[in-house]
Each structure stands twice: as C-alpha cells, then as structure tokens.
Amino acid sequence: MDFAFDEAQEELRRTVRAFLEATAPEAEMRRAMETEAGHDPALWRRMGAELGLQGLAVPERHGGAGAGPVEVGLVMEEMGRALLCAPYLASAVQATTALLHSDDEGARSDLLPALAAGERIATLALTEDSARWDRQGVTLTARADQEGGWLLDGHKTFVLDGAQADLVLTVARTADDIGVFRVDGDADGLTRTVLPTLDPTRRQARLEYRGVRARRLRTRGDAWELVELVLHHSAAALAAEQVGVASRALEMAVEYAKVRHQFGRAIGSFQAVKHLLADVLMEVESARAAAYAALLSAQNGDANLPAAASLAKAFCSDACVKAAQDCIQVHGGIGFTWEHPAHLYFKRAKTSQLLLGDSAHHRELLATAIGV
C-alpha cells in the first residue's frame, strides 16, 4: 500500500494551510467560537467559493471536485491544526457521505450543489440520550402520513452543528426497519437547542421532533448499512483531524521548550523533556499512518474499512489526548491559562476522543471486525 502523497495532494495541503493561517488565526478562532453560530459564515462561504473544500468529495456533475476521502482527510488535518470553528465534519463529511452513498440521485441533484458551494449546511442526527452509536440506540420514530410523506417524533442529541444546519439527515425507526430522512432545519415541530460543551470550538445541539414532516432518503437495502458506512468514513476523517490537533500541540511544546529557560538552560535540553517530546512525536507519526490507511481504505472501497476506521479512531484519539496533555505539561502554569491556546487543543482532543464512540468502543468494533 502506497502512503506517499502526490503533488496535487501536497499542493492542496499547502493551499489550505496558507488559507487558514491568513483567515483563521487564533484570534479569529476565539472570536468565532463566541458567536451565536459558532463559526464565521463568511469564511464558510469563502471556503466553498474560493477553494471548493466542501465539495472535494462531490462529483463534478453536482458541483464538486470529484476527489475522495484522502483529500478530505488532508483538509481535516489542516483544520485540526488551526482548531477551525466550522461545520465541516457534519456537512462535508457526514451528510455529504450519506447522500453520495444513498440510492437517491434526486436528493443528490437537489442537495449536493448547494452543500458543495458552501451555500448550505447539513448534518446527520443519529445519537439519542443513550449516547449509543449502534442500531439499538435509534428510538426516534417515523410514521407514514396520508399524503405519502413521513412524520418524525422523538429527539436527537449531541448533533454536530444541529442548531445551525439547513438540512438535518435524521436516522429514525419505522414500523419494520431503519430509515434516513430529510428534514429542513426550520421545519415546523422541530426544536433545536445548543448544548453546553467542553469544547467551545465545535457546536452540538439537542433536537426535539414533534410530528416533523420529512422525506425518506432512498437507500440500497437496509438504511443502517448506509449509516454504518457514514460512521466509518467519519471516523477516518476525524482521525485525520486528530492528527492535526496533535501535530500542532507537539509543535507548540517544542517551540516553548526551546525558549523557556530554567537553571540557565532551555528546558528542551533536559533529558526528561526530550524523552517526553520524542514519545509524542512517535505517537503522532504512528497516528498519521493509521489515519491515512483508513482514508485510503475508504477511497478504495476496501472490505477492511470497518477495521481500519476503528483502529485509526482508537489510536488517533489516544495519541491526540496524550499530545495535548503533554503540551500543557511542558508549558507548565501558562498552559492552564485562558490566554494560552493549549487548553483549547486539549478540549478538542478530549471531546473528539468521545465523538463517534470512545477508544474502548472502537477497540471492541475492531475486535469484532477481525473476528476476535
């Protein structure tokens, strides 16, 4: 398996990094996370109009670039480095993947062009109060109405960017199976409440459905198979973002170790600090390999995607938390202050570790996937 990036992919990385350094520095990130939307809508539109980032994986016939999960992962990694406040994981990964792999060409033609252009935001509503990421966790009900549509009743929680999304792809239980339903963000009967979260750079919401009208997304066979595929793609993409978070945390720690002096020497010259940073570097590079192995499996449609995605999510989650913790450790007291960004990287690392299922959950999925 070839893990080398080609020139086009390296240019994509350079372009995205330069764009984010210019448009989303730390001061802008702090400003955006305090706004009602939780992100900068103007920047979101620029990402779509100027760089086409939201449409990377979207076919050209629907207004996208026709790239794949590896390119999306490169973008996610750079966004992780910048702690970008944006609904990219929810809209460009989860919702877009669901539409791309559904059997509903009408929905793709109707929805993907605006999502790819950054004109609309979508999300996937799956988890409920049980916080389960499996079929048994779906209790929100869908019932057919007399007009040939569907009505949804129940709730969803921990929905990424659920309060801001223009489109909510909702996973619901019908009388005999699981379905994915298209719900407008401003639909009658839908109440959306922003949740307080540890990580202020990524918004989550609770959604209450009371007879909300919806249209069912056509799927190939059991809709839960589509949901599982979305979760695998999302886990691989999130793993890449975690690599970006960990990489930047390591860089900040190394930079500080070079300039902070104690006993007349830079603390980076102390053996204990050297070993700590070397261990983090090993974890980060191993995490990068795991993340892009999963993304390549997603791009190629490999049968081992479930195992590769869970391996990447489990390993990258732990590596990211370690890098963020050790970054604070190297910085000492200043690393705990609100003014320093180290705590924001730790908060993103910790919440990402739990998102889509924690490390133990994905180790269990990995064991099942490989037949242990």
Residue extent(s) of CATH 1.20.140.10 domains in the chain: 224-369
* Secondary structure (3-state) at 211: strand
Phi, psi angle pair for 45, to nearest 5°: -70, -35
* CB of 354 closer than 8 Å to CB of 131: no
Of 129, 139, 144, the residue nearest 172 (C-alpha): 139
In the chain, where do the E strands start and end? 122-125, 141-144, 150-160, 167-173, 178-184, 190-194, 204-216, 261-262, 265-266
Q: What is the secondary structure of 239-290 as a DSSP string?
A: HHHHHHHHHHHHHHHHHHHHH-EETTEEGGGSHHHHHHHHHHHHHHHHHHHH
* pLDDT above 70: residue 348: yes
Burial of 156 (0-12, 13-18, 19+ CB in 10 A): buried
Tokens of 70: 């590896």
Q: How confident is the model at residue 107 (pLDDT cuts 50, 70, 90)?
A: very high
pLDDT for position 163 = 96
Tokens of 102: 């559904």
* pLDDT above 90: residue 181: yes
* pLDDT above 70: residue 120: yes
Of 181, 201, 183, 200, the residue nearest 192 (C-alpha): 183
Residue extent(s) of CATH 1.10.540.10 domains in the chain: 7-121
Of 133, 76, 27, 21, the residue nearest 348 (C-alpha): 76
Q: How confident is the model at residue 24 (pLDDT cuts 50, 70, 90)?
A: very high
* pLDDT above 90: residue 328: yes
* pLDDT digit string, tens, across residues 36-95: 999 999 999 999 999 999 999 999 999 999 999 999 999 999 999 999 999 999 999 999
35-44, 104-113, 265-274, range with the lowest pLDDT: 265-274
Burial 86-100 (b: 16+ CB within 10 A, else e): bbbbbbbbbbbbbbb
* pLDDT digit string, tens, across residues 192-235: 999 999 999 999 999 999 999 999 999 988 899 999 999 999 99
Q: What percent of the chain has a predicted confidence (pLDDT) above 70? A: 99
Q: How confident is the model at residue 297 (pLDDT cuts 50, 70, 90)?
A: very high
* pLDDT above 80: residue 146: no
Of 204, 207, 163, 175, the residue nearest 189 (C-alpha): 207
pLDDT for position 189 = 97
Residues in the chain, total: 372
Residue range 263-284: mean pLDDT, rounded: 91
pLDDT for position 323 = 97
Q: What's at 118, amino acid-wise?
A: G
Q: What is the dihedral of CA 171, 174, 176, 178, to 10 degrees?
A: -10
* pLDDT above 80: residue 296: yes
Residue extent(s) of CATH 2.40.110.10 domains in the chain: 123-221
Residue range 175-198: mean pLDDT, rounded: 96
Residue range 328-333: mean pLDDT, rounded: 92
Half-sphere exposure of residue 26: CA atoms within 13 angstroms, side-chain side: 10
Half-sphere exposure of residue 119: CA atoms within 13 angstroms, side-chain side: 9
Measured between alpha carbons, how far is 304 from 7 in angstroms, rounded to an integer? 27
pLDDT for position 286 = 97
pLDDT mean across residues, the chain: 95
Measured between alpha carbons, how far is 64 from 70 in angstroms, rounded to an integer? 15
CATH class of 224-369: mainly alpha
For domain 7-121, the CATH architecture is Orthogonal Bundle (1.10)
pLDDT for position 2 = 58
Residue range 291-315: mean pLDDT, rounded: 96
Hey, how many other C-beta atoms are within 10 angstroms of the C-beta on 194?
15
* CB of 292 closer than 8 Å to CB of 3: yes
Q: How confident is the model at residue 4 (pLDDT cuts 50, 70, 90)?
A: confident
Q: At what angle do helices 271-300 and 305-331 cross, to 10 degrees?
A: 160
Q: How confident is the model at residue 151 (pLDDT cuts 50, 70, 90)?
A: very high
The pTM of the full predicted model, rounded to 2 decimals, is: 0.96
**What is 123-221's CATH number, 3.90.1150.10, 3.40.640.10, 2.40.110.10, 3.40.50.2300?**
2.40.110.10
Tokens of 157: 């929680």
* Secondary structure (3-state) at 124: strand
Measured between alpha carbons, how far is 90 from 238 in angstroms, rounded to an integer? 11
CA–CA distances in Å: residue 372 to residues 121, 264, 310, 313, 363: 40, 54, 14, 18, 11
